[in-house]
Homo-oligomer: A and B are copies of this chain.
Amino acid sequence: MDKTVSDLATAVAGIEDGMTVMIGGFGGSGSPIELIHALIDRYRETGHPKDLVVINNNAGNGHVGLAALIEAGMVHKLICSFPRSADPVVFTEMYLAGGIELELVPQGTLAERIRAGGAGIPAFYTPSSYGTDLAKDKPVAEFDGRMYVQERWLKADVALVKADTADTFGNLTYRMAARNFNPLMCMAASEAIVQASRIVDAGGIDPEVVVTPGIFVQKVVEVADPLQEEDLNRANAAYSLEA
């Protein structure tokens, strides 16, 4: 068994119009920029995939990565907790013009809904958002004298994930706070596509320090020295211009 694929284009080749795509990262840290850009490349060449539903904590920053995906017109709806950033102009303009749907979810609820999708838990109760506009139309229930909101799992067709080290079985480690949503999204997607800074043979990661066991991972592609969104934005990079 070897889950390695040879290149980024191959890794994202199976993503189709209308799919739900989870994208790891919190702001730029842990964002799989190279996988996102490979998806944009495919769209430019073939017109697909489009009408994507994207799940990410944010809505992109500047004109690279997730922001570039949105700018390219590939995203129909975004599910996120915080669509603001230092340079949120791409999402903001498209949203205010009615060009993209937004489902706003409290960050802890977003994380838990994704984990629930991965863990086979169709619904759970949380105190978060009770009594607020974000709980509107959601079922509520009382437990031990306190009120809670019922939330549903989130699943995806595909997850795009950034890891530090992967082995050929798909076991993963992450780098510092770049971990964030990535392990959860591996669990909740039918196909987790992972870019890793290095790929080692099975046995190359100590079984004690594996963060994402390979059972949650379907494809891994090596991207040594991955780009950082923050560095790109400080250099005023724009993926549309680079192409």
By a beta-carbon cutoff of 8 Å, the part of chain A in contact with chain B is 112, 116, 119-127, 141, 143-144, 146, 148, 152, 173-176, 207-209
Contacts and interface: CB of A to CB of B under 8 A. Distances in A.
B152 A123 contact: no
A208 B176 contact: yes
Contact of A208 (B125, B144, B173, B207): B173
Given A173-B208, A176-B208, A208-B209, A143 B125 contact: no
A143 to B, nearest CB: 4
Nearest to A126: B121
15 contacts: A112-B119, A120-B126, A120-B127, A121-B125, A121-B126, A122-B125, A123-B124, A124-B124, A173-B208, A174-B208, A175-B208, A176-B207, A176-B208, A208-B209, A209-B209
A195 B126 CA distance: 32
Contacts of A125: 121-124
Contacts of A127: 120
Tell me the number of copies of this protein: 2
A207 B146 CA distance: 36
Given A208-B176, A209-B209, A141 B123 contact: yes
A154 to B, nearest CB: 13
Contacts of A173: 208
B122 A116 contact: no
A135 B208 CA distance: 35
A120 B121 CA distance: 15
Nearest to A164: B208
Nearest to A177: B207
A209 B208 CA distance: 8
Contact of A143 (B152, B175, B208): B152
Contacts of A124: 116, 121, 123-125
Contacts of A122: 125, 143-144, 146, 148
Most chain B CB inside 10 Å of its own CB: which residue of A112, A124, A127, A175: A124
